Amino acid sequence: MVQIIRNAFLIKESKALNLIKESTENLTKRHNVDTTGGHVIKDTNTTKEHVVIDTDSKNEDVIIDTDTTNEHFVIDTDTTNEHVVINTDTDNEHVVIATDTTNEQVVIDTDTTNECVAMDTETTNEHVAIDTDTSKVHVVIDTDINNEDVILYTDTTNGHVVIDTDTNEHVVNDTDIINEHVVIDTDTTNGHVVIDTDTTNENVVIDADITKENVVIETDTSNEHVVIDTDTTNEYVIIDTDTTNGHVVIDTDTTNEHVVIATDTTNENVVIETDTTNEHVVIYTDTTTENVVIDAETTNENVVIETDTSNEHVVIDTDTTNEHVVIATDSTNENVVIETDTTNEHVVIDTDTTNENVVIDTDTTNENVVIETDTSNEHVVIDTDTTNEYVVIDTDTTNGHVVIDTDTTNEHVVIATDTTNENVVIETDTTNEHVVIYIDTTNGHVVIDTDNTNEYNAITVFEASTEIVLKEHDGNVETTVEHVVKDTGSVPVSSSVLSGMNIWHNLLLTNRGFFA
C-alpha cells in the first residue's frame, strides 16, 4: 500500500516537472532569453520598414539588417572574428564587401555615384590596393609586400604618373606630362638622390645626400642659373653661377670658419670674406664705382682699408678695442686725415692741399694742442690749452698780423703785431693789475697804461715823431727815458710813469729786432 502511494507521487512529480519545463521554454522564447550563451534576436519594425535578425551562437554571430526606407542592407557574418560584411546602399549607389579571414582581409568598395572602385587585399599585412576613379580619370595601385611597397598612380586628366617603390630604400618616379615635370627620388637607406627636371621652367635639380653629406646641383636655364652645394658634415661649399646677372658665389664653410667669394660681373663686383672663428677678413672690389674695401677684424679689433679710385679716396681705419686710427686720403679734394684716438686722447692731422690747409689737433684728456696752417690765406694758428691755461699764436701773413695770447688762469699776456697798419699791442694782466703798451708807428703814437688794481698812479700818453722816440745808430736803438723826457719837455713825469718808461725802454732794447 505504501509503495502504491509512493509511485503515484512520483508520477505526479514527473508531470509537474514537465509542466514547469514547458512553461520555462515558452517564457524563454517569448522574452528572447539566451540560456546557452548563443542568443537570437528578431526585431521587425514595419513603421520604419526595418528588420533586424541577430543570431549569436557563442559570439559567432550573424546580423541581417534591412532598412527599406534608407534603402540600406547589411549582412555581417562573424565566424570567430573572421567576418564578412556586405553593405548595399542603393540611395548613395554604394556597395561594400569586406572579407576578413584572420585579418587577411579583402575589401571591395564600389561607389557608382562618384564613379569610384576600391579594392584592398591584405594577406597578413602584405596588402594590395587598387583605386580607380573614373570621374577624375584616376588609378592607384598600392602593393605592400611586408612594407616594401609599390605605388603606381596614374592621373590621365592632369597627365600625371607616380611610381613609388619603397623597400625603405625607396624610389619615386613622378612624371607630369602637362607641366613637363619629372622627379626621380632614390633613397638607399637615406643616402638619397633626387633628380628634378622641369622642362617648362627649364630647371634641373640633382640632390645627392650620402648620409647627409649632400650635393645639390641646380640648373635653371631660363634664368641661366647654376647652384652646386656640397656639404660634407656641414662643412659645405656653395658655388652659385648666375650668368644673366653675371654673378658667381663660392662659399666655403669649414666648421663655420667660412670663406665667401662673390663675383658680380654686371655690377663689376667681387667680395672675398674669410672668417676664421669670427676674426674675419673682407675684401670687396667694385670696379664700376672703382671701390675696394678690406676689412680685417681680429676679435672685434678691426682694420678697414677702403679705396675709391673714382673719387680718389682711401680710408684706413684701425680700431683695437675702440682705440682707433683713421687715415683718409682724398686725392680729388687733395685731402688727408689722420685721426688717432687712444681712449679719447685723440690726435687729428688734416691736410687739405686744395684749400692749402693743415690741421693738427692733439687732445690728451682735453689738454689740447691745435696747429692749423692755411697757406691760401697765409694763416697759422697754434693753440695750446693745458687745462684752460692756454697759449694761442696766430700768424696772418696776408694781413701782416701776429697774435700771441698766453692766459695762465686768466693772468693773460697778449702780443699783437699788425705790420700793415704798423701796429704793436702788448697787454699784460696779472689778475687785473694790467699793463698796456701800444705803439702805432704810422701815426707816430705810443700808449703805456699801467693800472695797479684799478688805483692807477698815472696814465701818460707820449706822442712824438718816430724820429724822436726811435733812432737807429749803427744798428742799435738809442732811446732812454731821459732822452724821451728831454725831447718832450712839456710833460710832467711821475715816478710810476718813469717806471713804465723803464719797462718800455728795456723791452725795446731786448726786442728791437721784433719791433723793427
The full DSSP string for 481-511 is HHHHHHHTTTS---HHHHHHHHHHHHHHHHS
Rounded to whole angstroms, the Cα distance separating 87 from 94 reads 8
Rounded to whole angstroms, the Cα distance separating 200 from 471 reads 106
Rounded to whole angstroms, the Cα distance separating 434 from 503 reads 13
Q: What's the pLDDT score for residue 291?
A: 47
252 φ/ψ angles, rounded to the nearest 5 degrees: -115, 120
CA distances from 393 to 276, 366, 401 (A): 52, 19, 11
Rounded to whole angstroms, the Cα distance separating 42 from 53 reads 5
Asked if residue 130 is part of any domain, the answer here is no
**Residue of 403, 410, 363 lying closest to 382 (CA atoms):** 403
Sequence-ordered list of residues with C-beta below 8 angstroms from that of 221, at least 6 positions apart, any chain: 202, 203
180 φ/ψ angles, rounded to the nearest 5 degrees: 55, 60
Dihedral over Cα of 373, 378, 381, 382: its sign: positive
Q: pLDDT tens track of the chain, all 516 residues?
A: 445 545 554 555 566 556 555 655 554 454 444 445 444 555 555 554 554 555 555 544 555 555 555 555 555 555 544 445 555 555 554 545 555 544 445 455 555 555 444 555 544 444 445 555 445 444 444 444 444 444 555 444 544 445 555 444 444 555 544 544 445 555 444 444 555 554 454 444 555 444 444 445 555 545 444 455 554 444 444 555 554 545 445 555 444 444 455 554 555 444 555 544 444 444 544 445 544 444 444 444 444 555 454 544 445 555 544 444 555 555 555 454 555 554 444 455 555 555 555 555 555 555 555 555 555 555 555 555 555 555 555 556 666 555 565 555 555 555 666 666 666 566 666 656 666 666 777 776 666 666 655 544 333 433 333 333 333 334 333 333 333 332 333 333 333 333 444 444 444 444 444 444
**Residue of 338, 271, 279, 276 lying closest to 303 (CA atoms):** 279
The full DSSP string for 450-463 is E-STT--S-EEEEE
Asked if residue 154 is part of any domain, the answer here is no
Whole domain around residue 491: which residue ranges?
Answer: 399-516
The C-alpha cell that represents 56 in the structure block: 549569436
Asked if residue 496 is part of any domain, the answer here is yes
Residue written as grid cell 503515484: 8
Asked if residue 499 is part of any domain, the answer here is yes
In the chain, the N- to C-terminal Cα span, in Å, equals 188
Q: How many CA atoms lie within 13 A of 142 on its CB side?
A: 14
Rounded to whole angstroms, the Cα distance separating 417 from 223 reads 76
Rounded to whole angstroms, the Cα distance separating 221 from 508 reads 93
The C-alpha cell that represents 476 in the structure block: 742799435
387 φ/ψ angles, rounded to the nearest 5 degrees: 55, 55
Q: How many CB atoms lie within 10 A of CB 159?
A: 15
Rounded to whole angstroms, the Cα distance separating 65 from 55 reads 12
**Residue of 404, 371, 418, 365 lying closest to 388 (CA atoms):** 365
Domain count, the chain: 2
Dihedral, CA of residue 346, residue 352, residue 357 and residue 360, to nearest 10: 10
The full DSSP string for 99-141 is EEETTEEEEEEEETTTTEEEEEEEETTEEEEEEEETTTTEEEE
Q: How many CA atoms lie within 13 A of 444 on its CB side?
A: 9
Rounded to whole angstroms, the Cα distance separating 491 from 481 reads 13
Asked if residue 481 is part of any domain, the answer here is yes
- Name the DSSP class of 149: E
Decide if 40 contacts 55 (C-beta within 8 A).
yes
The C-alpha cell that represents 196 in the structure block: 628634378
Asked if residue 252 is part of any domain, the answer here is no
Asked if residue 506 is part of any domain, the answer here is yes
Q: How many CB atoms lie within 10 A of CB 302?
A: 19
Q: How many CB atoms lie within 10 A of CB 209?
A: 16
Residue written as grid cell 551562437: 57
Q: What's the pLDDT score for residue 440?
A: 73
Rounded to whole angstroms, the Cα distance separating 65 from 72 reads 8
The full DSSP string for 388-435 is TEEEEEEEETTTTEEEEEEEETTEEEEEEEETTTTEEEEEEEETTEEE
Residue written as grid cell 715816478: 495
Q: What's the pLDDT score for residue 145?
A: 45
Asked if residue 497 is part of any domain, the answer here is yes
